[in-house]
């Protein structure tokens, strides 16, 4: 009896835990309208940002073509870039994959990154560096999207009470700006939106409507002025077994060299950072190395972003190993921490690989260059859906069957870690491993209790077959020790549970 005279209910062993309070989700109409307005404004401003980037970088390239001796200023340019980043309190080793990783973690992107990457990217092109402006546009878009969103004070449209959505909004606004700028640069709203979604590992899927609005707004602005990366169209052949086989061969070649390209850039960056974290030293070494190679070997044609070179390959067949030269110069520039992008160089390298595959396939070298550029991009950045959509928007939707085959082959045979980190395939595989590991533990527990079912039987049978096939005594010993540990742990948990229930009953 309590002090109030009422009998308190006694806890029993079968008592159910209290039901948690019902989760209340609130749809904010005002925030939904603000998101749409922000997406439109962001798309328009990022479209103009893409135009500005094209004008500045293309102007710098034109100056270099008139005075190729500027290649010897590349070491000085690299040092000035780092001093600019230090002045604006930007990390000296800030690359596109580092910006993407910050976005994945919901960190705020600096507003000074937009002018920083714009100036630094143009400086690298001005001195003959082999970098593109597309990944630079992605960094610029992420910074612009974050800056434009400040006066809007955005929150999740469907919001949980007392939930801090700051990190969600950081990811959302940066991703929206990134997608809009990339869409304006390539005139490809669908491919740009999908690229950012894949890079964010679909964490921002609920914002896809706003991202599409921004992408189409940026596309309209850039398309109106006609300023962006204009890639030459090619004739689309008929669907035949020979052309399908050509796409398979090109896909395998793109997977091999695309994986090598991504691994080489990450490897050089990792080695230089491990040896000595003096980025000023490395830009001087890399700049001198590029200047010597370009001057001694006459490789001026392979400097710059590679956009003009890609259009040449899409117009005139190039059956050579010239792609290795472009790959080498780009690896040195990006590996030794020069500021710039890697997407257009990858499209250029892939186009030359696809054209060179003409000797093996006997097909259309120009169409092979188009397929090779898209396949190389899929293997290089591990984003197959965006590569497919980007290829369809650039070369026409009639090329969809060929691009689908080539991209699938390149993605399947490519290394699972691209320039922007692990792809969605390796993350999915790790999730399946955890799933089957949990099923295996459940089967072992049920077997010890004599309560095995069909799935448990299948898992146990598979384990037995694997054990017989391997004939490894140590593996069998580890399996036995794991079984004893799991059974003992579960029995201990149940013993503690029953003892706790008994103590509660006696206390009541």
Task: Report the run of H or E that residue 422 belongs to, with start and end.
Answer: strand 421-422
Q: Would you place residue 424 in the very low, low, confident or very high pLDDT band (cuts 50, 70, 90)? A: low
Asked if residue 432 and residue 418 are part of one domain, the reply reads no
pLDDT of 162 reads 72
Q: Per-residue pLDDT tens for 46-98?
A: 999 999 999 999 999 999 999 999 999 999 999 999 999 999 999 999 999 99
Question: Are 342 and 452 in a shared domain?
Answer: no
Specify the range with the lowest mean pLDDT, choosing from 322-326, 384-388, 493-497: 493-497
- Record the pTM: 0.79
* Lowest mean pLDDT segment, chosen from 22-36, 46-60, 268-282, 337-351: 22-36
Q: Which residue, 95, 137, 134, is CA-closest to 306?
A: 134
Band (pLDDT 50/70/90 cuts) for residue 472 is: very low
Residue 458 has pLDDT above 60, yes or no: no
Average pLDDT over residues 356-369: 85
Q: Please report the pLDDT score of residue 1 as a whole number.
A: 43
pLDDT of residue 327: 96
3-state secondary structure 265-312: HHHHHHHHHHHCCCHHHHHHHHHHHHHHHHHHHCCHHHCCCCHHHHHH
Residues 248, 135, single domain; the answer is no
**Does residue 218 sit in the same domain as residue 264?**
no
Distance CA(345)–CA(310), nearest Å, equals 9
Give pLDDT, residue 481.
58
Residue 444 and residue 403 in one domain: no
The Cα–Cα gap between 185 and 134 comes to 7
Q: How does residue 409 score in pLDDT terms, banded at 50, 70 and 90?
A: very high
Residue 314 has pLDDT above 50, yes or no: yes
State which of 424, 440, 467 marks the end of a domain: 424
Q: Among 39-43, 63-67, 371-375, 429-433, which stretch is predicted with the lowest mean pLDDT?
A: 429-433
Residue 501 pLDDT greater than 60, yes or no: no
68 and 190 share a domain? yes
185-208 mean pLDDT? 92
User: Would 280 be classed as within a structural domain?
Assistant: yes
Residue 464 belongs to some domain of the structure: yes
Secondary element (H or E) of residue 113: helix 113-126
The predicted structure's pLDDT at residue 134: 86
pLDDT for the residue numbered 26: 72
Domain assignment present for residue 323? The answer is: yes
Q: Do 392 and 246 fall within a single domain?
A: yes
> How many Cα atoms occupy the beta-carbon half-sphere of 176 within 13 Å?
34
In a domain, residue 476? The reply is yes
The span from the CA of 462 to the CA of 444, in Å, is 12
Give the pLDDT of residue 507: 44
pLDDT confidence of residue 292: 97
Shared-domain flag, residues 450 and 315:
no
Rounded Cα gap, residues 452 and 436, in angstroms: 16
| Residue 9, domain member (yes or no) | no
Given 201, 225, 249, which residue is the final one in a domain? 225
- pLDDT of res. 478: 54
**Predicted pLDDT at 206:** 86
Residue 255's contacts (CB-CB under 8 Å, 6 or more residues apart) are 375, 379, 409, 410, 411, 412, 413, 414
CATH of the domain at 256: 1.10.3080.10
Instruction: Tell me the per-residue pLDDT of 12-30, one tens digit each, with 9 for 90 and over.
Output: 555 555 545 555 567 778 8
**Total number of domains in the chain:** 3
Average pLDDT in the 274-281 region?
93
Same domain (yes/no): 360, 321: yes
| Whole-number pLDDT of residue 319 | 83
Amino acid 302: pLDDT: 95
Query: Do 479 and 332 share a structural domain?
Result: no
44 and 144 in one domain? yes
pLDDT score recorded for residue 466 = 47
Residue-level pLDDT at 453:
44
Is the model's pLDDT at 450 over the cut of 50? no
Q: Yes or no: say if 215 and 43 are a contact pair by the CB < 8 Å rule.
A: yes
Rounded Cα–Cα distance for residues 112 and 414 (Å): 35
Q: What is the 3-state secondary structure (H, E, C) of 205-234?
A: HHHHHHHHHHHHHHHHHHHHHCCCCCCCCC
Give the pair of three-digit tokens for residue 152: 């809007």
463 within domain boundaries: yes
pLDDT at 116 > cutoff 50: yes
Q: Does 428 score more than 50 pLDDT?
A: yes
26-27/421-422 β-pairing:
unpaired
| Domain presence at residue 460 | yes
Phi/psi at 26 (nearest 5 deg)? Answer: -115, 130
174 inside domain: yes
Specify the length of the chain in residues.
Answer: 508
Residue range(s) defining the domain that contains residue 282: 241-424
Residue 417 clears pLDDT 60, i.e. is over it? yes
Q: Are residues 404 and 438 in the same domain?
A: no
CA distances from residue 89 to 80, 84, 116 in whole angstroms, order as listed: 14, 9, 10
Beta bridge partners of 132: 341
Least confident stretch, 94-103, 192-201, 218-227, 429-438: 429-438
The answer, yes or no, to whether residue 480 has pLDDT greater than 70, is: no
Confidence at residue 471, expressed as pLDDT on a 0 to 100 scale? 44
Q: Among 424, 455, 470, where does a domain finish?
A: 424
């Amino acid at each position: 009896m309590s002090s109030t005279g009422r009998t308190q209910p006694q806890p029993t062993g079968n008592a159910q835990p209290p039901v948690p309070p019902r989760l209340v989700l609130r749809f904010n109409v005002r925030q939904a309208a603000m998101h749409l307005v922000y997406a439109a404004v962001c798309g328009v401003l990022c479209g103009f940002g893409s135009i500005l980037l094209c004008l500045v970088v293309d102007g710098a390239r034109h100056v270099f073509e008139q005075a190729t001796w500027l290649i010897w200023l590349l070491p000085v340019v690299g040092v000035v870039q780092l001093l600019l980043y230090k002045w604006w309190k930007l990390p000296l080793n800030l690359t596109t994959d580092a910006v993407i990783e910050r976005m994945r973690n919901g960190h705020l992107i600096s507003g000074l990154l937009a002018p920083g990457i714009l100036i630094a990217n143009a400086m690298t092109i001005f001195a003959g560096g082999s970098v593109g402006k597309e990944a630079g546009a992605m960094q610029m878009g992420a910074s612009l999207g974050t800056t434009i969103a400040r006066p809007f004070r955005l929150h999740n449209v469907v919001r949980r009470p007392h939930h801090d959505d700051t990190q969600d909004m950081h990811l959302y606004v940066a991703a929206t700006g990134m997608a809009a700028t990339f869409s304006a640069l390539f005139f490809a709203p669908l491919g740009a939106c999908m690229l950012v979604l894949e890079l964010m590992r679909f964490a921002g899927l609920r914002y896809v409507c706003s991202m599409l609005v921004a992408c189409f707004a940026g596309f309209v602005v850039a398309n109106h002025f006609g300023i962006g990366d204009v890639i030459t169209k090619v004739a689309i052949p008929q669907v035949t077994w020979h052309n399908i086989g050509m796409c398979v061969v090109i896909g395998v070649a793109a997977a091999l060299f695309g994986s090598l390209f991504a691994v080489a850039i990450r490897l050089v960056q990792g080695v230089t950072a491990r040896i000595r974290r003096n980025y000023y030293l490395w830009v001087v070494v890399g700049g001198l190395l590029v200047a010597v190679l370009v001057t001694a070997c006459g490789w001026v044609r392979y400097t710059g972003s590679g956009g003009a070179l890609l259009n040449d390959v899409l117009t005139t067949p190039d059956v050579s190993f010239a792609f290795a030269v472009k790959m080498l110069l780009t690896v040195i520039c990006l590996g030794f921490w020069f500021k710039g992008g890697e997407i257009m160089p990858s499209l250029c390298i892939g186009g030359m690989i696809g054209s060179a595959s003409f000797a093996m396939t006997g097909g259309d070298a120009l169409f092979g260059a188009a397929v090779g550029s898209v396949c190389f991009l899929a293997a290089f950045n591990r984003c197959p859906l965006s590569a497919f959509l980007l290829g369809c928007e650039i070369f026409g939707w009639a090329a969809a069957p060929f691009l689908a085959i080539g991209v699938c082959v390149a993605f399947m045979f490519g290394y699972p870690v691209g320039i922007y980190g692990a792809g969605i395939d390796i993350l999915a595989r790790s999730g399946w491993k955890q799933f089957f590991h949990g099923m295996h533990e459940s089967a072992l527990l049920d077997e010890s209790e004599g309560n095995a079912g069909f799935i448990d039987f299948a898992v146990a049978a598979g384990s037995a077959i694997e054990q017989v096939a391997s004939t490894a005594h140590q593996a069998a010993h580890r399996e036995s020790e794991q079984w004893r540990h799991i059974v003992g742990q579960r029995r201990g948990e149940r013993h503690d549970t029953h003892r706790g229930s008994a103590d509660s009953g006696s206390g009541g």
